Every structure is written in C-alpha cells, then in structure tokens.
Amino acid sequence: MALKKSNKYGYEVTTRAKEYPNCYATIKANLHCTGVLGFAILTVILGVIGTDVKTYSQELPRGTHASSSWGLIRYVHSNANVRSSRSSESNIVGQLKTGQKIKADFLKANWYAIFKVDEAVRSEKNAIGYVYAPLLKPNSPSKTKIAKRVSDILKYKILAKQDYSYSNTPRMKFTVILDVDKLPSEKQMKKTAEHIWRNGNKGWKEFTVFCFLPGMDTKWMAYGTATFTPKGLKDFRIMETALFGTKWQK
C-alpha cells in the first residue's frame, strides 16, 4: 500500500484507505500513543542515569576532596621532625630535610598535617604526620643559606627531657650531648640549641637546652646553656669551668 503526502499530517495512506475514515483515525491514534509512550520511557531512563551519577558523586567519604589544588605548598628552612600527632611529646615518625617541599593542610592548635606534594585526595587519614606550623615557610630557602645553616648545626643526641612546669608556667629542659671532635664555637652551639627549640618546642614559656661535650659528666655543669621564650633566644652562657678535669680543658 503506497503513502501519499499530506500538507497537514505528513504522510497518509492511499485514496482507497481514505474511504474508511475510522480506520485512518485508529492509525493516527496509535501513532500518537507510541510517541507519548516513547517520551515516558526516555524520561525514566534519564532518571535512572541521573540517580547513578548522583550516587557515584557521593562515593568519596565525607571530609575528602579529590583534586590537586587543595592545601598549601610549604618548605622547611631547617631540619624538622614529623610527629605522630599535634604534640611535641608525640612519637617522631620522620624528618623533613632543609629545603624539602611538602603539602600542608588541616591547621589546628598551630600544627599542620603534612602530605606528599602530589597527594590528590584531601583527607587527613592520608597525612604523613604533623609538623609545628611556624617551621613551615611559603618560600624555599636559597642554596647558600641552606648550606651555611646546616654547617652551623651540630649533630647531637638528646639524653633527657624534663618538664619542670610550675604555677601554670610551662617549662621544659633538654639535656643533649654534642657529637663533636673539637671544641665547638659559641655560634654553633647557639644554632644547634635554636634548631632544637624550633623543632616543636616554641610553645613552652621557658625552654632550656643544656649542651654537653663527649666525655663530660651530664649530672654536673653543662658547657653551654641556652634559654628560650616563645619569642626566641633569651640567654646563652658558656661555662669554661665545666671543662675542668676533661679532655676539653684548655
């Protein structure tokens, strides 16, 4: 059966079919119903897809964000310990080297959670550890300054830590032995003590570092004593008499 063009309805059946108008009306009604049904099916499909997309977008746990644009890029200008929690008394889980670049976020109680620079997911669970915020700088130190600063900081070992706070005044003292084979300069001892103070101990109202040399009696007088407040070095003293009876005696 051939179709014939119609200005009103597009195509219609041949003249013979037009002799039966009721039949033609049925054909038009069927076409109309098919169109409505198709539209309804398409709406349902799009709704299902939309639900899937919404569900997928919520797959990341709350508090996370997948992007490389979050956090702050920071550098350390001197070696800094990485702690297991936001406290200078917590375990050391690593160390950042002078000039090292990291990503910092989740600032709380003046401590940053730190991450690898290329970490894409913003979640504190992915943190390497925690670093005292003032130790992290926005700019990288120059190579000259790094070399000079590192050469001034002596190797040392912490022998004891003592909290002697009183009257609501937080006070801490460290006893350290310097790993040296010749008498250190005053500048070297100051820089070493300052490095210890900066490495998570700036929060104490009074922080003291007692510096001993190898072979000295650590229960006696220290060769160098540095005292700090939250603002910086308050006092530094060298006691020559502490060397009497040792190989360091002049």
For residue range 95-150, what is the model confidence (pLDDT) as tens digits?
998 889 999 999 999 999 999 999 999 999 999 999 999 999 998 887 655 555 55
Q: What distances in angstroms separate CA 160 from CA 113, 163, 193, 218, one per listed residue? A: 27, 10, 14, 10
pLDDT of residue 147: 53
Average pLDDT value over all residues in the chain: 79
Q: Does domain 153-243 have CATH number 3.10.310.90?
A: yes
Residues 6 or more apart whose Cβ sits within 8 Å of residue 142: none
What does the DSSP 8-state code read for residue 198?
Answer: H
> Higher pLDDT residue, 202 or 48?
202
Q: Name beta bridge partners: 236.
A: 226
| Between 47 and 80, residue with greater pLDDT | 80
**116, amino acid identity:** K
Predicted pLDDT at 93: 93
CA dist 85 and 105 (Å) reads 14
Euclidean distance between CA atoms 79 and 199, whole angstroms: 8
Residue 174 and residue 196 in contact, taking contact as beta carbons nearer than 8 Å: yes
Q: In this predicted model, what pLDDT tens digit does every residue of 140-199 receive, in sequence order?
A: 887 655 555 556 789 999 999 999 898 888 999 999 999 999 999 999 999 999 999 988
> In sequence order, what DSSP letters do the residues of 114-155 get, joined into one string?
EE-TT--B--GGG--EEEEGGGEESSPPPHHHHHHHHHHSPP
DSSP H or E segment with residue 33:
helix 21-57
Cβ-Cβ contacts under 8 Å for 193 (sequence gap 6 or more): 209, 211, 224, 226, 228, 233, 236
Determine contact, residues 93/84, Cβ cutoff 8 Å.
yes
Q: In what order do the strands lie in the sheet with 206-212?
A: 156-163, 171-178, 206-212, 224-229, 232-238
pLDDT of residue 175: 96
- Topology of domain 72-137 in CATH is SH3 type barrels. (2.30.30)
